[in-house]
Amino acid sequence: MNNTTLKAPACLLDKVRTHLEIIYPGQDTDKLTQKAISLFEPIHESLDDSCASATHLWSEKDIALLTYGNSLVEEENRPLRTLDRFLKKFTNNRFSIVHILPFFPYSSDDGFAVMDYYTVNPSLGDWEDIRKISERCRLMSDLVVNHTSSRSWWFENFKKGVHPGKDYYVTVDPQSDLSQVIRPRTTPLLREVATPDGPRHVWCTFGHDQVDLNFKNPDVLMEFLSIIRHYLDNGVQIFRLDAVAFLWKEVCTTCLHLGQTHKIIKLMRILIQAHNPRAIIITETNVPARENLSYFGIGDEAQVIYNFPLPPFLLNTMVTGNSKGITDWLKTMPDTMENTTCLNFIASHDGIGLRPVEDYFSRQEKTQLIDLMKAFGGKISTRALNDHKDNPYEINISLWDAMKGTVHCRENHYQIERFICAHTIMLGLKGIPAIYIHSLLGTENDYERRENLQSNRAVNRHIWNYPDLCAKLVNPDDHHHQVFFALCALVDKRKQQPAFHPDAGQITFNINRKIVAFQRRAAEAGKTQGLFCIHNITDQAVTIPRKDLPEQWQRAGVDLISEKTVQLDTGLSLAPYQSMWITVT
């Protein structure tokens, strides 16, 4: 291989070549290495021969906002510009990370059936609008890597038998043994398509408008490396790899978490960080917890993974008033490796997944939660298993309505307190917190949108008229105002505490089943801060005797939330759904 044409450290060349040799045995990996690295030139000047990963990728000041490009709309303005106005006027740079969900031309699935990866959907704005938002924050973008729209020009070329696209998609003999394939949908896996070579059966993990790409063809990988570079050039710093667990296909396997998938993610990380050492990969893998953790690799894969068990655990905790499940789970969470962490969230554009807690929830617990969410207007999405039954996969509901009541009292007047308590727990946990825009705004279920789109997920994808929203946010009597400013106040306080650094230590305490309690502790630059985070998850006042508090938290402290002194030496009393972040004086 002629290395003189590439201005890259030898160790970078070796790492890229090694991964490509494993992914594509028998291919000209020297040529592939040359092409891959050339896409990311110039290589960052700080990348020396040690090829060390970047450090200090996040801090306690990092909090993400998750939103669609058109969650807020107004007449005579592009939605992306309206979003930028909202970020400037209302959030005032509180959110250091903004995830704009797929902002490309699409045919279905609210953006996740991408027709053109290189273009911003003109109904939202253009790349200039994207770059402007990226100047305000670290911009997260989806890399919809598993599939494209059936209306993409690549798939049109596939159907015509021309390049590029002719061999970009997974095709399979319908008589093949596909019984082990795991997928989150009930639609048929294969779709028959007419081509110049006769009928072909393409693979569709998520539905017939979303056709799976064939990464066994190295041209597909190179195409996506080019897309990644395009995003980097337009201000993207964080790449959310959507549905990446399904990437590589092998007949007679589950086609989930295969080794080549992990190698491709590692390769992407190496190349992205070679160009921008502060860029980050986040994997979106809504699977059981142990499988999800595998995407850290050995510290050489995704820097961040979605903490998918947290939403169902936290929701169930708040509506049952019982902390045993979440406390036991938090105690089992392994320490993260250097330069890795979790993205903590309670709600997102998708539903509250049930797969991540398959190993934790009993059938009775799951049924009780599902029935309650149905009573609060939620919908249940299902997936097909080998038992040929539709099995619950996720709960589709706005988080505001999900917190309407409890299993003991279907509706009560503690909805705001319960909602804020859940977020206070999430904001205190180890990792980077992320708040969905409709949680930030206290948005209700959107039944009309759900019916119009015939999609369960649409119930939690409301589109706000921006002037109407502004009127609600300035009205102190409106619950949208109350939720928004309560969450903003918590965000402001959190960002000032070194103990909430994503890498800071965490110890979970088992005090009683009405309480969620944990300690966060950070030591930096000779300064140590410890915080005792304690939350009453019931609608009854709770008093904790001094003897039941952790020994190190049995003397007077200051609650950073209320800014009041707390006499821990005499025990601790908490009002319904009250939270405290206590630092000992």
Q: Which of 278, 325, 314 is nearest to 419 (CA)?
A: 314
**Region 568-582 average pLDDT:** 95
> How high is the pLDDT of residue 338?
87
314 assigned ligand-binding residue: no
CB 190 within 8 A of CB 174: yes
Per the model's pLDDT, the better-predicted residue between 217 and 388 turns out to be 217
Q: What are 386's two structure tokens?
A: 């080998």
278 is in an annotated binding site: no
Q: Is 109 annotated as a binding residue?
A: yes
Question: pLDDT at position 51, please?
Answer: 60
pTM strictly above 0.85: yes
56 annotated as a binding-site residue: no
The pLDDT, as a whole number, for residue 45 is 74
Question: Where residue 53 falls among pLDDT bands split at 50, 70, 90?
Answer: low
In this prediction, residue 391 carries a pLDDT of 85
pLDDT at residue 438 tops 60: yes
CA quadruple 524, 525, 528, 531: dihedral sign: negative
Rounded mean pLDDT, 424-430: 98
Is a pLDDT exceeding 80 seen at residue 23?
A: yes
Cβ atoms of residues 11 and 49 within 8 Å: yes
β 432-436/341-344 pair status = parallel
- Give the pLDDT band (50/70/90) at residue 142: very high
Domain limits, the chain: 505-584
CATH assignment of 505-584? 2.60.40.1180
Token code pair at residue 474: 């300035």
With a cut of 90, say whether residue 288 has pLDDT above it.
no
Residue 82, pLDDT above cutoff 50: yes
Cis ω on the peptide bond leading into residue 392 (within 30° of 0)? no
Would you name the residues annotated as active-site residues?
A: 242
| Token pair of 252 as six digits | 């007679």
20 pLDDT more than 80:
yes
The torsion region of residue 297 among left (phi > 0), alpha (psi -120 to 50) and beta comes to left
- At residue 1, the pLDDT reads 47
Q: Which of 10-19, 44-53, 470-479 has the lowest mean pLDDT?
A: 44-53
Give residue 524's pLDDT: 67
Region 533-538: mean pLDDT is: 98
Lowest mean pLDDT among 363-367, 509-513, 520-524, 555-559: 520-524
Residue type, position 347, single letter: A
Mean predicted lDDT score pLDDT of the chain: 94
Which helix or strand (DSSP H or E) is residue 306 part of? strand 304-306
* Dist. CA 308–CA 315, nearest whole Å: 12
Neighbours of 235 (CB within 10 A): 18
The reply, when asked if residue 147 is annotated as ligand binding, is yes
* 233: exposed, middle or buried (Cβ count in 10 Å: 0-12, 13-18, 19+): exposed
Can you give the three-state secondary structure of 444-479, one letter per residue? CCCHHHHHHHCCHHHHHCCCEEHHHHHHHHCCCCCH
Range from 125-129, 387-391, 526-530 carrying the lowest mean pLDDT? 387-391
Distances (CA, A) of 87 to 81, 84, 206, 279, 531: 10, 5, 33, 22, 30
Query: According to the annotation, is 461 in a ligand binding site?
Result: no
What average pLDDT does this structure show over 121-149? 98
Q: What is the mean pLDDT of residues 305-329?
A: 97
Q: In which residue are the tokens 């903003």 written?
A: 488
More confident residue, 9 or 22: 22
Residue 243: phi and psi, rounded to 5, are 50, 30
Mean pLDDT to the nearest integer, 20-49: 90
SS3 content of the chain, % helix, strand, coil (to 5): 35, 20, 45
Structural contact between residues 578 and 517, judged by C-beta atoms closer than 8 angstroms: no
Distance of CA 534 to the CA centre of its chain: 25
pLDDT for the residue numbered 412: 80
pLDDT of 105 over the 90 cut = yes
Best CA proximity match to 17, nearest among 27, 6, 30: 30
Mean pLDDT of 542-550: 95
What SS3 string covers 246-296?
A: HCCCCCCCCCCCCHHHHHHHHHHHHHHHHHCCCCEEEEECCCCHHHHHHHH
pLDDT digits (tens, 9 = 90+) for 189-199: 999 999 999 99
Mean pLDDT across 410-415: 87
In whole angstroms, give the CA distance from residue 360 to residue 61. 32
Query: pLDDT, tens digit, for every residue of 320-350?
Result: 999 999 999 999 998 888 899 999 999 999 9
**How sure is the predictor about 3, in pLDDT bands with cuts at 50, 70 and 90?**
very low
Q: Would the CA dihedral through 66, 71, 74, 80 be positive or negative?
A: positive
pLDDT, tens only, 486-534: 999 999 999 999 999 999 999 999 999 999 999 999 876 566 899 999 9
DSSP 339-356: T-EEEE-S--SS-EESGG
